[in-house]
Amino acid sequence: MYIKSPFNYIGGKYKLLPQIVPLFPKNINTFIDIFGGGFNVGINTPSEKIIYNDQITPLTILFQYFKNHNIKDIINYIHYTIKENQLNKKDKTTFNNFREKYNKGTKHPLDLYILMCFSYNYQLRYNNNMEYNSSHGTNRSSYTKVMENRLIKFVQKLHTINVEFTSIDFKDYNYNTLTHNDFIFFDPPYILSTGNYNDGNRGFKNWTIYNEKQLYKIIKKLDNKNIKFGLTNLYYHKGKTNKYLSKFINNNNYKIIDLNTTYNNSSYNTKNTQNNITKEVYITNAQDKPNTW
């Protein structure tokens, strides 16, 4: 039974948890979720300590708020705020008014969560002025009982684990503090796909070829120090091969496991059958499993 993130997050790994979590080391001192995103992986990984990191600072602050506050108080605030602002899945005007109120000053972490609940595809999106600009999910998105139950389970689990929240660019993270008993998980933006978190037009740094290459250099240095890591990435997508990942695999003797996944239903992908062929992989130096390639 895995705990699901309280909101939908593009690139989230919830559906892949049964495939990747069993491949993690059995005894982890500190688990570092360096591209934490929706926190599906970190919150479901047994370890003495978890470090959640993501460059999206408002998201990190939201998780910290969940950690520091009682679930009853959180739910009461959500119900009160939705009622006070007359938010619903049919009325764009009330949503836009609430979004403007958030951007002009409230910046309350739970207001961000509420905005995501009523946004198109439940997406977290900012503009380059760091103003929340997701559109209203008219007749589709709202705060439901299902989402509330997910939130309750998530916060309850969050209160039982030892977790630290940081918001540091992966290139600036201090990897020198890691020991042989730690495990670092990399789930970077996929350079072969396009999401609102990595296009450089949403108030956050975009994912570039330079970043892709720097990531592989960091992983190589960690491996040379016998630090265990796991990496998910797209090897092949929409008729293209990630040549940087291919070179990284061919130049190193890591274990590569094919993941059973598909992105055919993603709104940003083509409908062409051949272009929908996707090969997503998990790469690690931490498991004594045969190379499946």
Spans of all domains in the chain = 14-56+167-284, 63-155
Among left, alpha and beta (phi > 0; psi -120 to 50; other), residue 245 is alpha
Identify the CA nearest to 215 among candidates 35, 11, 29, 9.
35
The answer to whether domain 63-155 has CATH 1.10.1020.10 is yes
Q: Quick check: 5 and 12 in contact, CB under 8 A?
A: yes
CA atoms within 13 A on the CB side of 97: 11
Is residue 236 left, alpha or beta, with left meaning phi > 0 and alpha meaning psi from -120 to 50?
A: beta
pLDDT per position as a tens digit, 168-180: 999 999 999 999 9
Find the radius of gyration of the CA atoms of the chain.
19
Other C-beta atoms within 10 Å of 107: how many?
14
Question: Helix 57-68 crosses helix 109-117 at what angle (to 10 degrees)?
Answer: 110
Burial class (CB in 10 A: 0-12, 13-18, 19+), 160: exposed
Q: Comparing C-alpha atoms, which of 119, 121, 278, 90 is closest to residue 102?
A: 119
User: How many other CB atoms are there within 10 angstroms of residue 149's CB atom?
Assistant: 12
pLDDT in tens, 3-22: 999 988 777 899 999 999 99
Q: What b/e string do you get for 200-213 counting C-beta neighbours within 10 Å, with b at 16 or more?
A: eebbbeebeeebbe
Choices 3.40.50.300, 3.40.50.150, 3.40.190.10, 3.40.50.1370: CATH for 14-56+167-284: 3.40.50.150
Exposed, middle or buried by CB within 10 Å (0-12, 13-18, 19+), for 39?
buried
Is the distance from CB of 111 to CB of 81 less than 8 angstroms?
Answer: yes
What is the rounded CA–CA span in Å between residue 72 and residue 248?
Answer: 48
> Quick check: 209 and 244 in contact, CB under 8 A?
yes
Q: Kindly give the confidence (pLDDT) of every residue in the chain, 293 residues in length, as a single tens digit, with 9 standing for 90 and above.
A: 899 999 887 778 999 999 999 999 999 999 999 999 999 999 999 999 999 999 999 999 999 999 999 999 999 999 999 999 999 999 999 999 999 999 998 789 999 999 999 999 888 888 888 899 999 999 999 999 999 999 999 999 999 999 999 999 999 999 999 999 999 999 999 988 755 555 555 556 789 999 999 999 999 999 999 999 999 999 998 889 999 999 999 999 999 999 997 644 333 333 434 556 889 999 999 965 544 55
DSSP structural state of residue 205: P
Helix, strand, or coil (residue 53): strand
DSSP assigned state of 104: I
